[in-house]
Amino acid sequence: MADSQRNLTIADIARLAGVGVGTASRALNNAPGVSAATRQRVLAVADQHAYVISPDASGLAAGRTGRIGLVVPHIDRWFFGTMVGEIESVLRAAGLDVLLYDVGGLDDRREFFEQLPARKKVDAVVVVAFPVEEAERQRLTLLGVHIVAAGGQHAVYPHVCIDDYVAGRQAVDHLISLGHRSIGMIEAVDPEQPVRPSGRTAAYHRALADAGIAPDPDLVVTTNWGGINGAEAMARLLSLSHRPTAVYAHSDEVAAGAMRTIRRTGLRIPEDISIVGIDDHPMAELLDLTTVHQPVAEQGRAAAGLVLDLLRNDTPPADQAITLPTHLVVRRSTTSVPPTPDPS
Amino acid sequence: MADSQRNLTIADIARLAGVGVGTASRALNNAPGVSAATRQRVLAVADQHAYVISPDASGLAAGRTGRIGLVVPHIDRWFFGTMVGEIESVLRAAGLDVLLYDVGGLDDRREFFEQLPARKKVDAVVVVAFPVEEAERQRLTLLGVHIVAAGGQHAVYPHVCIDDYVAGRQAVDHLISLGHRSIGMIEAVDPEQPVRPSGRTAAYHRALADAGIAPDPDLVVTTNWGGINGAEAMARLLSLSHRPTAVYAHSDEVAAGAMRTIRRTGLRIPEDISIVGIDDHPMAELLDLTTVHQPVAEQGRAAAGLVLDLLRNDTPPADQAITLPTHLVVRRSTTSVPPTPDPS
DNA sequence: AACCGGAACGGAAGCGTTTCCATTTCCAAA
DNA sequence: TTTGGAAATGGAAACGCTTCCGTTCCGGTT
C-alpha cells in the first residue's frame, strides 16, 4: 500500500509515464491524438497507482460535470424506485454519476426548480413522473442543461411513458368482456401532484360508453393514492345499494387496499366481486390480482438512453417521445359476472 | 431575463458589489470575517443575478466535494427506497448532494469498491444494509472519505441498525404466548449478500428453547428473499405430515408469499394457521399481517445525522453505534392455537 | 535529397473557487 | 491625541484538469 502518499495528480502520472500532461490527459480520456503504445503506458501507470482523474478539476476545466440529476417524487414507492434503479444503472454504465433529488410535494418541487441546485451541478436532469412547467423548462434550457422525462405524461421535451388510456381500456375492457355491466372505478389522485386529465379515467368512461353501458356517477369514487385509501374508497363502493360486480382501480396499491375491504366484509374475490388494477406491482402477484402490466424498468432504460443521446449529439433530437406498450395480466381476482342472486 | 449572458463568476459578483473576490467568497459561504453590511450587499447582488457558486471550482479549491455517496443494494425495494429517501432528505437540507449507487450483486459491489468511483467524488459514503469489508473500509479511510452504515449489522465504523435478535424474539414470542408449540420458520437469505449469522434465526431457536419446545428441523425452511419464494417455502411447510400451527417469516414480503400459498390451499388465516412477519412493510397493513415494526425512516435519518457529525467534527466520533427499537404490531394474521382437531 | 502533410506530443493558459497573507480600517483604551 | 490590536479586506497563489497551439517526428512524394 504505497499510495498513502499525497494524492497523485495527472502531472505525476505524466511524469511517471514519461509523457506530457496533455498526452496523459488525452490518454486517460480515451481521446484521439495518442499512439496506442503511449496510451497503454499511461493507462498502465495510472492503474498501477490507483489513480483516477479528479472529477472536480475535470469538470471545471472541461465545462461538463459528468453528472445527471434525477428528480423523483417518492423514491420509497415501487414504481419510482424501480425507475430510478434502472436509470442509475445505465447511466453509471456510461460513466455518469447520478445525483438524486427526492422531491415529494408540490412546494418542494417548485422550490427545487427555484433554487436550481442543479445549476452547474449536472449536465442534464431526468424528471420522473411529473410534468415540468414551461417556465422551469426554459430556465434549465437557458442554463444549458438538458431535460428528459420518464413515466409521466406527454411533454414538449424528450420523454418516455405508457399510454394511460390504453392501459385503462385493457383493464376495463377485460371486465366488460367477462360480462360485467356494473363496474365501479376507484380513481386515484396524488394530492401532491398537479391535477391533470387522467387517461385512466377517460378510458373507463369511454369503455362503458362503447359497450353501451349507462354511466352511473355513484360507481366512481376518487381517493388519494395509496393502499389504505383504496380500502376506504372500496368501503364507499360497498355501501351502495346497488354495489358493482366488478371494480377497476387506478393502481395495484389501491386495488390491494380495496381487496382488504372486500375480504373483511366477507365477500369473496372473484366469486362475489372482481377487481382489476394497473401497474403489475410485485405485490399483485402475491395478491393474485389481475392487472395491466406496465414496463417500468424499460421506461427507465429508455429514458436513460435519451439522456445519453442528448449528451452525445449536442443537438436536441426534436422532442423525441417513446411510448411503451402495456398488457393485461389475468390472475385470480377477476371472473365472469355472477348470476344475479336477487330475483328482479 | 438578463442572465442569458455569459455565466457570471465570483469575480463579477465581487466587482458588482464593490468588494474583493476574497470578501465575496467569504460572504457567499457564510464564513466569518465579513461585516454584516458587506455580506448583505454581496448576497443581494448574487441573488439579483441568480448567481450560485460553481460546485466544481469550489470543490477543487477547497478540497471537499459537498457530495455524499449513497450505496444501496436494491433501490426498488421498499426498505431501501424508504431509507434512501430519508437520508437524501436530511442531507439535502444540510446543503449536501447525494450521489446514488444502486449496487445490487456481490460482484457489482466488489467492483464498485474496487474502482472506487467515489474517489474524489464524495466526502463520505453511506452504505445501506450490507457490510463493508475491512480492506474496503481501510481504503476509503486512506482516501479520506468517511463511512457510515445504515440498516445493516454491527460494524467497526459508525452505524445505525435495529437488533435483529430482539425483533425476531418479539415475533416468535408473540406466537408462543398465543399457545403455539408447533412453529415453522421461513428463513430468508439474500443470495447476493454475504451469508452471515442472522439474529432473526437465532431468535427463533432461542425462543423455542426458552419455552421448552423441542426443535424440529423440518419446521425451518430456507429460501431467497422475495415474496414469491416465500410462497414456495410455505408450500414445503404445508406438505409436512405435521404442519405447524403458526409460521414466523423473516420478512413481510416473504410472509405475503406464504399467505398466498395458505389461502390457495384453502386454509384460513389465522383460524387454521397464524403467521407473523418482520418489517411492517406498508403491504402488511393491507394484508392484515401481524408483524414487527422497524423504524426505517428513523434509521435513515439517524444515519444521515451521523454523516453530518462526521463532516463537522472531522474527528471520527469513536465508532458510534445507534440501535433503534422495534415493536410488535398485532393485526389479524395471528390468533391462539386452534384446538387440535385430530384425536391423538 | 528536399519537401510536405499529418499524427504525436509538450506545455502554457485558463476554468472559478478558496485561502493564506499582507494591508487597511476602526475603536476603545491610555 | 496617540496607539495597539481586532476586524474587515484585497489579491495572489494554488487546486488538478482540458485544450489550444506550436513543435517535432514520420513516411511518402516529387
Q: What is the CATH number of the domain that holds A173?
A: 3.40.50.2300
Residue B136 lies in a domain: yes
CA-to-C1' distance for A16 and C2, Å?
38
Residue B227 lies in a domain: yes
- Average pLDDT estimate for A106-130: 80
Residue B253 lies in a domain: yes
Residue A332 lies in a domain: no
Pair B103, B192 in one domain:
no
Pair A144, A134 in one domain:
yes
The alpha carbon of residue B73 and the mean position of all alpha carbons in its chain are separated, in whole angstroms, by 10
Please state the φ and ψ torsions of residue B324, each to the nearest 5 degrees. Answer: -95, 150
Q: Would the Cβ of A61 be found within 7 angstroms of any atom in strand C?
A: yes
- Would the pLDDT of A235 be above 90? yes
Domain count along chain B = 3
Share of chain B above pLDDT 90, in %: 58
Pair B48, B155 in one domain:
no
How confident is the model at residue A4, as a pLDDT?
42
Pair A158, A306 in one domain:
yes
> What range does the domain containing A90 cover?
67-162+296-325
CATH code of the domain in which B23 resides: 1.10.260.40
Pair B47, B130 in one domain:
no
- Would the pLDDT of B94 be above 80? yes
Q: Would the Cβ of A179 be found within 7 angstroms of any atom in strand C?
A: no
Pair A234, A168 in one domain:
yes
Pair B255, B156 in one domain:
no
CA-to-C1' distance for B44 and C24, Å?
25
Pair A124, A42 in one domain:
no
Residue B22 lies in a domain: yes
- Average pLDDT estimate for B37-54: 90
Nearest to B257 among A74, A228, A286 (CB): A286
Q: Which residues contact A37 (CB under 8 A, 6 or more apart)?
A: none
pLDDT digits (tens, 9 = 90+) for A253-292: 999 999 999 999 999 999 999 999 999 999 999 999 999 9
One-letter amino acid identity for A133?
E
CA-to-C1' distance for B61 and D9, Å?
20
How confident is the model at residue A343, as a pLDDT?
47
- State the best of B47, B56, B264 to mutate against chain A, taking most chain A CBs within 10 Å: B56
What distances in angstroms separate CA A255 from CA A234, A287, A333, one per listed residue? 9, 10, 10
pLDDT category at B276 given cuts 50, 70, 90 is very high
Q: Would the Cβ of B50 be found within 7 angstroms of any atom in strand C?
A: no
Pair B112, B196 in one domain:
no
Pair A229, A80 in one domain:
no
**Contact by Cβ (8 Å): A254, A281:** no
Whether B52 and A119 lie within 8 Å, measured CB to CB: yes
Give the span between the Cα atoms of B81 and A113, in whole angstroms: 23
- Would the pLDDT of B2 be above 50? no
Pair B43, B75 in one domain:
no
Distance from CA of B210 to the nearest CA of A (A): 34
pLDDT digits (tens, 9 = 90+) for A167-214: 999 999 999 999 999 999 999 988 777 667 789 999 999 999 999 999
pLDDT digits (tens, 9 = 90+) for A94-104: 889 999 999 88
- State the best of B51, B65, B82, B100 to mutate against chain A, taking most chain A CBs within 10 Å: B100
Give strand pairing partners of A268. Answer: none
CA-to-C1' distance for A318 and D11, Å?
48
Is cis: bond before B270, omega within 30 of 0?
yes
